[in-house]
Amino acid sequence: MKLQVNRIFIKDLAFGEETKVENHTLFINKERIVNELKKEPGVKDIDIDFAKPGEKTRIIPVKDVIEPRVKIKGAKGFAGVTTDVAQLGEGIVNVLYGAAVVTIGDIVGFQEGVIDMWGEGAKWTPFSKTYNIVVDIKVVEGLHPHEHEEVVRLVGLKASELIGEAGRNAKIDETVEYGIGDNDEETKKYPNLPKVVYVEMLISQGLLHDGYIYGTCTRQTLPTLIHPNEELDGAVISGNCVAACDKITTYQHQNNACILDLYNRHGKDINFVGVVLTPELTTLAGKFRCCDYTAKLCKLLGADGVIVSEEGYGNPDSDLVMICTRLEKQGIKTVLVTDECSGWDGMSQPLTDTSKESVAVISTGNVSHVVHLEKADKVLGDSEAIANLAGGWDGAYNSESGTLDCELNAVIGATSEIGYHNATVELY
């Protein structure tokens, strides 16, 4: 399976008569895009604005971030969601590289987030560096929270596809190819390299805490083996309001840092044999089932080593260490990627569970660390929303000074557990 990714570098945003790319500027016909998005069921109104790196702009409350793309060859769109179910991961895709669609609107769940495009806040989110097309979505009255979330999710995906069309005939700046064969093929090519499997844990808890694979809610799946290209091509999307700091946005699935790093090392010092997507369930039986199944899949793939990344924290910490225990007891070396919930002073127990087998852990930061965010010149959304977000509190926004204090919990991507942002520390 091979995927060719054509990157079109985006270095500015502007409104125009056409949605197109010209001299690295993405022009958007606001009226046409808004009119198309308003056709989606459940939408009351739509507005679009821009947030560019370095501007004193705050975006809050953020639901999801999606990379705008257009598929040139192969299955199109987010198969199983915006298009019919089809096999993703092959063909050619043109990417508006450096641009991002960011969805905001009325609060759906308390675990949404904030993006600051400048200053202290910009240090903590990867999306302060992207050129953001901010889609403000107002839904019709009377929707239940799950219906509200679904409307917002689908509008964001549709917006990324409509805007992504600007890349169809645009000048290509860079081409990257991703591809590995089946297990037998890669083993014959690299018989002496250790086989490595990437296990990606996905929030699967209901209550606005769910991911989707080809449109299927992960609560309804067993651990699933996929080709890494499938995730890079849009097979996995975010549909959750889990803590903003470590929720894996759709953009981060499309550019999964663990997958990209493993690809960079494939054929050099490792043999990257696949990705296992593992649900994080809330029942004890569900946890045992998924952890046992995950370890079994890794063993069947002949893994010598496994990287396990978490999404969220709290009860999924138990899944994380249970998977590690099962793998290590089978002689499979395991590295865990997680953040820590260590309190404002950093002195609390970082994870809710431990095991003696968990000897190689990569920390992506303390979700409880408090940051002070300066006054914004422009707010897309509502700064008062911080009072109702995880990591915020009543009074966190000072209306007189315009400043905002919050935990990293509230900052989108601040402690990404797929290693997407900031430095990491290895603990042994």
For residues 164 and 72, the answer to whether their CB atoms sit within 8 Å is no
Whether 217 is catalytic: no
Q: How far is CA 93 from the centre of its chain?
A: 19
Helix H segments across 135-227?
145-164, 183-189
Give the integer Cα–Cα distance in Å for 185 and 58. 49
Give the integer Cα–Cα distance in Å for 170 and 21. 6
| CA-derived radius of gyration, the chain | 21
From residue 210, alpha-carbon distances to 239, 247, 321 in Å are 5, 10, 21
**What secondary structure does DSSP assign to 343-368, as a single string?**
-TTS-S-SSS---TT---EEEEEETT
Axis-axis angle for helices 284-300, 316-329 (nearest 10): 40
Cβ within 8 Å of residue 275, ≥6 positions away: 197, 198, 199, 200, 225, 226, 227, 228, 230, 231, 259
Give the integer Cα–Cα distance in Å for 73 and 160. 18
For residues 125 and 412, the answer to whether their CB atoms sit within 8 Å is yes
Cβ within 8 Å of residue 63, ≥6 positions away: 103, 104, 105, 108, 112, 149, 152, 153, 156, 241
Give the integer Cα–Cα distance in Å for 410 and 110. 10
Give the integer Cα–Cα distance in Å for 345 and 332. 35
Q: Does an H or E element contain 16, and which?
A: none
Tell me which residue has tokens 């549709």. 158
Task: Supply 336's token pair.
Answer: 């865990």
Selecting among 217, 241, 291, 341, the annotated active-site residue is 241
Give the integer Cα–Cα distance in Å for 37 and 135. 10
Residue 88: DSSP 8-state? -
The residues that are catalytic are 241
